């Protein structure tokens, strides 16, 4: 059995199992789904309410995405880094380290878009204290302006209630909803 087939098969099998395990309910908007499946490059932007958000988006996305991930988590966070690398290996997406103090990550995201990729970003640049979307950092606007690609909005609700993964959560394993 070839490795790419094995990986896509694992992704196909693991995706619904992990979404159910994390208690995630996904709603797909026809226009966002069409955009993702068109093969055209695009930027997905989502509110950031917990450490689970990127994993939830990767599992719920109908196509693999390139994720902008803070350098701390993408390279130096031990178990978190290894888990992100495992998800990338399984075909759930690509990890692109980004740092607010250096432009290299955002430029790599731009290169990904010019090559026809789909990029996932959390425009706030940090986890929200309240669960509501905060102010966007300038990098996302720069990326959209430079690339000229469509930007689709996603929304996660419920993950901010997680005691384990959110800043101010009170539930051990809350129900989570994501809208594409």
Find the CATH number of the domain harbouring 88. 3.40.50
Nearby residues of 43 by Cβ (< 8 Å), 6 or more positions away: 113, 118, 119, 120, 121, 140, 143, 144, 147, 149, 150, 151, 152
Mean pLDDT of the chain: 88
**Residue 1, pLDDT above cutoff 60:** no
Quick one: which H or E segment has residue 5? helix 3-21
- pLDDT tens-digit map of 103-132: 888 999 999 999 999 999 999 888 887 777
Across 154-176, average pLDDT: 90
pLDDT at residue 137, as a whole number:
83
Please name which of 37, 45, 42, 67 lies closest in space to residue 55, comparing C-alpha atoms: 67
Domain count, the chain: 1
Q: Is 2 one of the catalytic residues?
A: no
- pLDDT tens-digit map of 72-102: 777 766 777 788 888 888 888 999 999 878 8
Across 157-180, average pLDDT: 90
pLDDT at residue 75, as a whole number:
73
Contact 59, 16 (CB under 8 A): no
Range of the domain at 74: 3-179
Q: Can you give the pTM of this predicted structure? A: 0.87
- Sheet of strand 65-70: strand arrangement: 24-27, 176-179, 150-157, 42-46, 118-121, 65-70, 93-98
**Residue 165, pLDDT above cutoff 80:** yes
pLDDT at residue 70, as a whole number:
86
**Residue 2's pLDDT band (cuts 50, 70, 90):** low
pLDDT at residue 7, as a whole number:
64
**Which SS3 state, helix, strand or coil, does residue 63 take?**
coil
**Which SS3 state, helix, strand or coil, does residue 105 take?**
helix
Quick one: which H or E segment has residue 39? none
Across 38-59, average pLDDT: 93
pLDDT at residue 175, as a whole number:
96
- pLDDT tens-digit map of 168-179: 888 988 999 999
Q: What is the 3-state secondary structure (H, E, C) of 111-127?
A: HHHHCCCEEEECCCCCC
- Out of 48, 94, 118, 133, the active site residue is 48
Please name which of 159, 162, 135, 173 lies closest in space to residue 60, comparing C-alpha atoms: 159
């Amino acid at each position: 059995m070839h490795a790419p087939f094995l990986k896509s098969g694992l992704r196909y099998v693991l995706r619904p199992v992990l979404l159910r395990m994390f208690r995630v309910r996904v709603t797909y908007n026809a226009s966002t789904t069409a955009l993702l499946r068109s093969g055209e490059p695009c930027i997905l932007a989502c509110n950031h309410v917990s450490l689970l958000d990127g994993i939830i988006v990767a599992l719920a996305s109908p196509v693999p995405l390139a994720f902008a991930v803070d350098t701390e988590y993408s390279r130096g966070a031990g178990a978190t880094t290894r888990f992100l690398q495992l998800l990338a290996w399984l075909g759930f997406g690509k990890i692109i380290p980004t740092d607010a103090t250096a432009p290299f990550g955002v430029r790599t995201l731009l290169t990904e878009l010019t090559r026809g990729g789909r990029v996932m970003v959390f425009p706030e640049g940090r986890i929200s204290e309240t669960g509501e979307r905060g102010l966007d950092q300038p990098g996302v606007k720069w990326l959209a302006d430079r690339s000229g690609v469509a930007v689709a909005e996603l929304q996660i609700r419920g993950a901010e209630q997680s005691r384990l993964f959110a800043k101010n959560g009170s539930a051990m394993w809350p129900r989570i909803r994501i809208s594409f």
